[in-house]
Amino acid sequence: MATDGAGASHGQSVTPQQGPGGGGRRRRPSGEPPPLPRQVGVSGRVLITLVVLAIGISALNLAVRRGGFLFDRWNAAMIRGIVPVRTGWLTALTSGINTVLSSRWTTGVLRLGTLVALAGLLRWRHLLTFLGSVVVVELAGYQLSLLIASPRPFGVQIIGPWEGFSEPSRPMAAVAVTLVGMVYALLPAGRPRSWGKWAACVAFLLLGLARVYLAVDAPTGVLFGVTLGVTVPVIGFRFFTPDEVFPVTYRRGKAAHLDVGGRRGQAIRTAVQEQLGLTVLDVKPVGLAGSAGSTPLRLRVAAAGGEPERDVFAKLYAQSHVRADRSYKLGRTILYGALEDEAPFQSVRRFVEYEDYTLLRLTHVGIPVPAPFGIVEITPEREYLIVMEFFTGAQEIGAAPVDDQVIDGGLLLIRRLWDAGLAHRDIKPANLMVRDGNVLLVDAFFVQVRPSPWRQAVDLANMMLCLAVRTDARRVYRHALGYFTEDEIAEAFAATRGVASPTQLRGVLKHDGRDLVTEFRALAPVRRPVAIQRWSIRRITLSLLVLALAVAATIVILRYWTVVA
Amino acid sequence: MSAARPRGRPASTWKGIAVALAVAAGTMAVSGCGASQYQRVACDSTSPQAIFVLEAQAVPSATLIPCAEPLPRGWSVAGFEVRSGLAQFWLDSDQAGARAAEVMLTQTCDVAGATQLPTTTESGAIVQPYEVATARQPHTTVRYYLFTGGCVTYRLSFTRLTEPVLAGQAGQFLGFNPRWIYVNAIRRDQGLTLCGAYAPPCPG
């Protein structure tokens, strides 16, 4: 079959390629659980218990304080049971533990150290989540203590220092939020984080026992404080920095995506078999370093239906990716306005449906992209897999030889996108593959139908830059004139600067050293730069809202500085 | 046959509404249901959020607990702090500014150099007031009220000479409640002991 430089076949109607095989497909009957049923899991159960505990203790405290003072009597009885074991050395030991662990200096140093470390590691999202958790816990602890207004334990001598009302125990909450925040912000998921959690538990236990022994806190106050101090950061980190999207890692790249071993790995095998008829032999994460929007996988599938054993490519999407996409788009809208002004996706299902559609659309107009084999449901509304062709034997354009055929292929690809009224919006070396001299395009997730002319122009400029990095500007420009007018090329480079190019392409250009953008501008007719910053009502509203939130948060923090600090 | 259309709002909208309601409820619960600062320290307060029991625990030896009598116009209770060994609250004045008056209960006070004033009786207990000479504190008024097991320091950010009307008002609203009220109430309501003055000895 003849193909042009852009890898598309000539003279055929393009239909989506079907997956190999077809046997083994099975419709899931009504009532049968999905491949990976939604399970709360151990951490989920712990979290739910914590939330129920926090709400329950708050409600009981409020109700009981106006009623029978049940808590006070129970606490007094518990502490009276501890008093007989008070001895000199034990009192000295517990006082020491209380002084060291609940000191504002200790928590202050730990918090400051964590913030400095996170800033140094450029983990701004984790930093904000840590800071937010601390502020929320301190303020909630303070306000709840005023609301509940529970005195210190009755009936025994209090032999340690204390401050304010006792429920929830604010020192316990402060230590809990600090240690749990550190565990989630600094320790990678898995064994290190598990050890960190156990270490934090030991600290809570020691401090809690010490404070009850000294009778400065009641057992319910300790429990309430720990519950508050653990629940807020756990929810915060799970929601704002899910490991699948924002992993804590000290290796290069983003190593921790959705775990594809264990139950999920088995569910992927079963689901792909039943829904696409492909027998999966092996599941391997690939290209994680360049992907934060999904978990990319290479599936080894068994020979079937005349096809040999081979690899297929798959992207696993989960709800955390939807949340990340939402905040990413909000940030881009505020920073760049109309540059990225678009509505976020509302569900994982929409994610995969959209990518499947863009792949089919691109294939339909002759753009060489991986043929989509289908969407696989792992957990309804929560996890989906989109399976597509794996470009076996293809090389990334940054590593492949770039000759005239490749240059023409790349430029033709953009021409076809323009003619079809599409924009890829993520033209960069990592998304351009070369096989047998043909340029292939991957990652259609950002494709936009009927984009702005500016967006299309940027695609052209980015493609020319990708090609020129491996050759030179004059040669690429000469080839480009075969597909675009001088004015169109001038428009492309008038529209492209800074953030208009993907981060990876900007990095490659920087590493190359040549000022290719300027060289292209010198070759093309003079044209005034196209403004990148676009203002819209939506951008102004969102910016004002975020600004108002930031100001409100700052006012609250300053007003309660003595509480927070 | 027409295709079935999903009815009602999308799940995300409901989620947003639920979050907004939860935040609103939480804010109301935290800010709206609390007692006012005055109710927390008013001498005749019956609020369960009053600070007197906590004050009694902060200075267990004190036989009197300071409180605020009804305030004249322009005065408001602005805040309080209670910790082991110390309990204090402070008042703002629309004329004299923030923390125009501070009331602080401790176990003892250093009254050296202060002038002894005539003894008074508060809730049946003898109170010995002292006042620091204006020459030593030209812009503030500092009085001490010594009684069995405790001392209240009353600090005003003005003097009788600079603000005679305010000084007259400030002389009205410092009150005392006897500690035994709270000891008896805790024993009666909960069957527990508020350790310290007027209570039987506590273990530990």
Report ipTM for this prediction: 0.82
Q: What three-state secondary structure class fits A340?
A: helix
How confident is the model at residue A238, as a pLDDT? 85
* Average pLDDT rounded to a whole number, residues A11-18: 42
Strand-by-strand arrangement of the A395-396 sheet: A395-396, A432-435, A438-441
Query: Which of the four pLDDT bands, split at 50, 70 and 90, describes residue A11?
Result: very low
Closest CA to A315 of A267, A376, A398: A376
pLDDT at A342 over 50: yes
Q: Which of A210-224, A339-353, A477-491, B143-157 has the lowest mean pLDDT?
A: A339-353
Interface touch B48/A73, C-beta < 8 Å: no
**B16: contact with A, CB 8 A cutoff:** no
**Chain centre distance of CA B132:** 23
pLDDT at A21 over 60: no
Interface touch A154/B83, C-beta < 8 Å: no
Facing A151 at nearest CB: one of B10, B54, B191: B54
Per-residue tokens: A362: 């691109």
Q: Which residue of B has its CA nearest to A163?
A: B83
Contacts of B85 in chain A (CB under 8 A): 161
B111 CA: distance to closest CA in chain A (Å):
26
How confident is the model at residue A456, as a pLDDT? 92
- Reported as a single tens digit per residue, the pLDDT across A238-281 is 888 887 778 888 865 544 466 777 788 899 999 999 999 999 99
How confident is the model at residue A564, as a pLDDT? 62
Interface touch A144/B30, C-beta < 8 Å: yes
Facing B190 at nearest CB: one of A69, A157, A161: A69
How confident is the model at residue A66, as a pLDDT? 52
Interface touch B195/A73, C-beta < 8 Å: no
Average pLDDT of chain B, as a whole number: 82
Closest CA to B187 of B89, B19, B56: B56
Contacts of B186 in chain A (CB under 8 A): 154
Q: What three-state secondary structure class fits A553?
A: helix
B54 CA: distance to closest CA in chain A (Å):
5
Interface touch A155/B33, C-beta < 8 Å: no
Distance CA B166, CA A122 (A): 55
Contacts of B31 in chain A (CB under 8 A): 143
Q: What three-state secondary structure class fits A266?
A: helix
pLDDT at B10 over 50: no
User: Hey, which residues 82-141 in chain B have their CB within 8 Å of chain A?
Assistant: 82-85
Contacts of B10 in chain A (CB under 8 A): 346
Facing A154 at nearest CB: one of B35, B82, B193: B193
Contacts of A147 in chain B (CB under 8 A): 29-30, 33-34, 49
How confident is the model at residue A519, as a pLDDT? 94
Interface touch B83/A144, C-beta < 8 Å: no
Q: What three-state secondary structure class fits B201?
A: coil
pLDDT at B6 over 50: no
Contacts of A140 in chain B (CB under 8 A): 30
**B22: contact with A, CB 8 A cutoff:** no
How confident is the model at residue B9, as a pLDDT? 43
Facing B54 at nearest CB: one of A84, A157, A165: A165
pLDDT at A368 over 70: yes
End-to-end CA distance of chain B: 81
- Identify the contact set of chain A against chain B, taking CB-CB distances under 8 A: 62, 65-66, 69, 72-73, 76, 80, 83-84, 86, 140, 143-144, 146-147, 149, 151-152, 154-165, 215-216, 346-347
Chosen for mutation from B53, B80, B90 (greatest number of chain A CBs closer than 10 Å) is B53
Interface touch B82/A163, C-beta < 8 Å: yes
% of chain A exceeding 70 in pLDDT: 89
pLDDT at A77 over 70: yes
- Reported as a single tens digit per residue, the pLDDT across A310-338 is 999 999 998 888 888 887 788 877 877 76
Q: Which residue of B has its CA nearest to A70?
A: B190
Burial of A182 (0-12, 13-18, 19+ CB in 10 A): buried
Interface touch A146/B34, C-beta < 8 Å: yes
pLDDT at B76 over 60: yes
* Average pLDDT rounded to a whole number, residues A23-44: 79
* Average pLDDT rounded to a whole number, residues A535-539: 79
How confident is the model at residue A565, as a pLDDT? 62
Helix (H) / strand (E) containing B78: strand B75-83
Distance CA A519, CA A477 (A): 10
B25 CA: distance to closest CA in chain A (Å):
13
pLDDT at A403 over 90: yes
A499 secondary structure, DSSP code? G
Please report, as a single letter, which amino acid is at residue A252: R
Average pLDDT of chain A, as a whole number: 86
Q: Which of A49-58, A170-179, A500-509 has the lowest mean pLDDT?
A: A49-58
How confident is the model at residue A41, as a pLDDT? 66
pLDDT at A563 over 70: no
Q: Which residue of B has its CA nearest to A563?
A: B81
Q: Which residue of B has its CA nearest to A213?
A: B204
% of chain A exceeding 90 in pLDDT: 51
Q: Alpha-carbon dihedral of residues A284, A289, A294, A295, nearest 10 degrees?
A: 20
Q: Which residue of B has its CA nearest to A159?
A: B204
* Average pLDDT rounded to a whole number, residues B55-71: 94
Interface touch B10/A346, C-beta < 8 Å: yes
Distance CA B121, CA B102 (A): 21
Query: Which of the four pLDDT bands, split at 50, 70 and 90, describes residue A68?
Result: very low
Residue B131: HSE in the Cβ half-sphere, 13 Å Cα cutoff:
13
Q: Which residue of B has its CA nearest to A143?
A: B30
Facing B190 at nearest CB: one of A72, A160, A165: A72
**B193: contact with A, CB 8 A cutoff:** yes
Facing A155 at nearest CB: one of B33, B34, B192: B192
Q: Are A416 and A9 in contact (CB under 8 A)?
A: no
A195-224: b (≥16 Cβ within 10 Å) or e: ebbeebeebbebbbbbbbbbbbbbbbbbbb
Question: Which comes out higher in pLDDT, residue B27 or A303?
Answer: A303
* Average pLDDT rounded to a whole number, residues A69-96: 88
- Reported as a single tens digit per residue, the pLDDT across B99-151 is 999 999 999 999 988 899 999 988 788 999 999 877 677 788 999 999 999 99
Closest CA to A212 of A200, A224, A201: A224
